[in-house]
Amino acid sequence: MKKKALVILLIFIFLGSYIAVFSIKNNDIDKTFSPQQNKNVKFNVTANKVVTAGQLFTISFIVNDYSSDFKAPHFTGIQVVSGPSTLSSQSYSYINGKATKEISTSYTYRVIAKKEGKIKINSAQVIVGGKTYSTKPFEITVVAGQNNNSNSQNGNLPDDDISNQVFIRTSYSKSKMYPGEHIIATTKLYTQIDIRDIKEVSSPKFTGFWSKDLESPQNLTAKREVLNGKTYSAAIVRQTVIFAQKKGKFNFKPFSIEITIKQKVGEEIDFFGRRVNRYAYVNKTITGNTANVVVRPFPVNPPKNFSGIVGNSFSIKTDIDKDSIKTDESINYKIKITGNGNLYLLNEIKTNFPTEFDSYKPQTSGDIKYSTSGALGYKTFKYILLAREFGNPTIKPIDFIYFNTKSKKFETISSQNFRINIEKGENYIVHSDAGTRILNKDIRYIKDKNFELKKKTKHFSNSKKLYFSYFGLIIAFILFIFIRKKVIKESSDFVKIKNRKAAKISQQRLKIASEFLKQNLEIEFYAEINRSLSGYLSDKLNINFSFTTKLQLEEILLKKGFDENFTSKLTSILNTCEFAQYGPVGNNQTPEDIYFETEKIINKLENTL
């Protein structure tokens, strides 16, 4: 018994010591995270700045500490449904050996705005550590609401209500412009209901304009927006910058999309025998607005050397790599045009180099970025000038004429001139026609070399050649009639015509793609490769490529005798070109690989089909 009593006594002593140590540590923690250490007390109110009359929303008053004696403001024009619901939370963290404690106390109300207008939320008060804190006054805008029934409040919509609850609208930054000027077309989706899927049906073609998509997101990002006094979730479906190419009046067709919404389709009896509504997801097509745009003529007739460029803030800079050379040596002459406008049209600069130089086609490069401000960037033209004669010629300034959309005038900017010193080179040869070089452009130089005279033969009308000519004409006429009938017959068969011309058209498009590749315009390159390959397949196989899936295309080619390796390469290139127009290419193929692989595929198709 004594042993048992001793063991019990030791257990009690051990437990008492453990509780004492734990209490001391706990007191240390409470001192470490004491709320009085929070000297920066913040007391704020949070709520939506724009709400709809008749719809439920929340107002929260939040303080970053423990608090007491909360005094709510007097709500005017607001019906309080519930609240305040109080929630306190705390969190601990250790950073670089330093312990910190974060505390939050919130008081939340669920309320309904009674009518449209401005509502002012006055200051609320709370006490923290014996000191009183107040929120700043907060203003809420209440807009008109819909006469919603129970279906629309749950996101379900009857047929006759769809045009008021969800629609698309295309806005244009201006309706009048000059040739070459740009405008921004922004298509937005406005909705007050839940939308499951969105699919584009048709979009404006912008005939008579050059266009470039700025935004065409796969996943729409919605923001609250007030339109005609009503609140909507608005998201940009597409944003495009378009440049006028000719004057006239233009009507842009509307943008159309197909959406999937939840809609009441009837009633049914539930498990408990009650009559309830039955819903299903249905597809609806909604169409936007048309628009009229006027491209007016320039205020005055363009000057003779007008570059065709329209915009503003243009500048010109010229540069040479050296100003002293010898004959048969060259210099690099560079022209750089910078500004905001339709620079994509600038393909050449009018120059007039001295006769002492031979000039060659320039190497063109540039960088143009498209945005809502237009097309901002530059284009560079690099000439190689080869010296043929010695002397001290002057490269005259380049005059660049453009139309300024701000001043509405044609303006001229000029570059600097350069004086070049050309000395005789070691291999310089005096050309005998050097003095007649300019004269030879408009007057044929007299021959001074020996030439032979031929004896005149008898008249053609009495020769056998005349009769042979008659016979040849008759044969040629018969062949002409035969060939003409054949051409007329073949011309009536449009499928054969497209089949016959497919390779030629694809080669032309590949040539254009090659030019884009040289200019490092990858998006345009992939788009042209895609058009070349899809256009060839459409014409050669007599299919509508837009309505043919990749799987169907593979089945057609396999029936034509092509193996799976070939068809997979073809569909891989098509997929790469489509993806490259909307984002970076994920595979290891370079644009050059894509170009040569496409050329091989078209050649194999042409030799086999």
- The listed range with the strongest mean pLDDT (300-314, 491-505, 556-570) is 300-314
Q: State how far the Cα of 397 lies from the Cα of 381, in Å rounded to an integer.
A: 15
Q: State how far the Cα of 292 lies from the Cα of 176, in Å rounded to an integer.
A: 9
State the average pLDDT over residues 5-26: 53
State the average pLDDT over residues 182-207: 87
Q: Residue 408: pLDDT above 80? A: yes
pLDDT at 600: 85
pLDDT at 411: 93
pLDDT at 33: 44
DSSP 497-509: HHHHHHHHHHHHH
Please give the C-alpha separations between residue 418 and each of 325, 394, 395, 415, in angstroms, as whole numbers: 13, 6, 5, 10
Pairing relation of β-strands 131-134 and 125-128? antiparallel
Pairing relation of β-strands 176-177 and 291-295? parallel
The total of other beta-carbon atoms located within 10 Å of residue 271's CB is 6
Cβ contact 427:328 at 8 Å: yes
pLDDT at 89: 78
Q: State how far the Cα of 288 lies from the Cα of 166, in Å rounded to an integer.
A: 11
- What confidence tens digit (pLDDT) does each residue in 119-173 have? 888 888 889 888 888 888 888 888 876 544 444 444 444 444 567 788 999 999 9
Task: List CB contacts of 423: < 8 A, sequence separation 6 or more.
Answer: 324, 325, 326, 327, 390
State the average pLDDT over residues 560-565: 83
Q: Name the nearest CA neighbour of 135 among 76, 61, 239, 198.
A: 61
Confidence of residue 458 (pLDDT cuts 50, 70, 90): low
Q: Where on the phi/psi map is residue 589: left (φ > 0), alpha (ψ -120 to 50), or beta?
A: beta
Confidence of residue 500 (pLDDT cuts 50, 70, 90): low
Q: State how far the Cα of 154 lies from the Cα of 157, in Å rounded to an integer.
A: 9
* CA 364-369-375 angle, 5° bins: 90
Q: Residue 366: pLDDT above 60? A: yes
State the average pLDDT over residues 27-32: 44
Q: Name the nearest CA neighbour of 555 among 535, 539, 541.
A: 541
The total of other beta-carbon atoms located within 10 Å of residue 300's CB is 10
Helices 564-580 & 522-541 angle (0-180, nearest 10): 140
Structure tokens at 253: 């067709």
pLDDT at 87: 81
| More confident of the two residues 199 and 434 | 199
Q: First-to-last CA distance in the chain? A: 108
